Amino acid sequence: MKNGTLSDHLYGSEYDPLPWKQRLKICIDAARGLHYLHTRVKPAIIHSDVKSSNILLDYNLVGKLSDFGLSKMCLQLSCFSTSKALEKVDSVVKGSNGCLDPEHLKDGGLSKESDVYSFGVVLFEVLCARKVFDPTLDEDERHLVDWVRRCIGRGTIYNIIDPYLKGKIAPGCFRRFMDLAYYCTCLEGNTWPEMDEVVLMLKLALEMQENADSEMKNLDPHGDCMYGEISYVHPCSWS
């Protein structure tokens, strides 16, 4: 693709940092792609390797899902059941370190919710602009999701977001985005949202950002849209 991968734009490349609203739009593009695979394709398809390096960006920075080498078709009728306990497809554990959902790692069962968990990891990548696993960091910071969990519990998540984004995310948008990423990456699969909910929440987050920017421009048409530090502690504790 013309503009490489999403990961190319987040770390370790010559690209300029992506603006926050552009990042949200790319997340929406990818979420729509997953929703299509899960609900519109018959039989449904589980991507099973969702990560930022598998989201390609075209000339207009529209996100496209790629790399279906590990994908699975839900041939069983139970894959269309509303019971998450019945949706799993037996699969050898494969995928990228740090992006696999805990239930898949535990029992090898692959489900559409496995894609949801991996997509939640991508959301944290987008916010923090750092790799899912970075062996060059201190031990307690190497795994992105674990590090984010601890920072949420301490109320210090704002400290580890991409420095380029600080002051540029509206408080309401930030909290909506964090709520979504939180639920996508919970350790228990019964809390994970469906991809249509993910798309809706991302669209709401983008709308909140656009409304906040518009209000700020009305107050100061020639100024930058800058926001203060935002606190975030989720009311539910991580397990």
**Side chain identity at 216, as an amino acid letter?**
M
Query: Are residues 100 and 51 in contact, defined by beta-carbon separation less than 8 angstroms?
Result: no
First-to-final CA distance of the chain: 39
Structural tokens at position 85: 């306990």
- What is the distance between the alpha carbons of residues 162 and 108, in angstroms, rounded to a whole number? 34
Place of tokens 């729509």: 32
Is 49 annotated in the active site?
yes
Marked catalytic residue, from 8, 16, 29, 49? 49
Residues labelled as active-site residues: 49
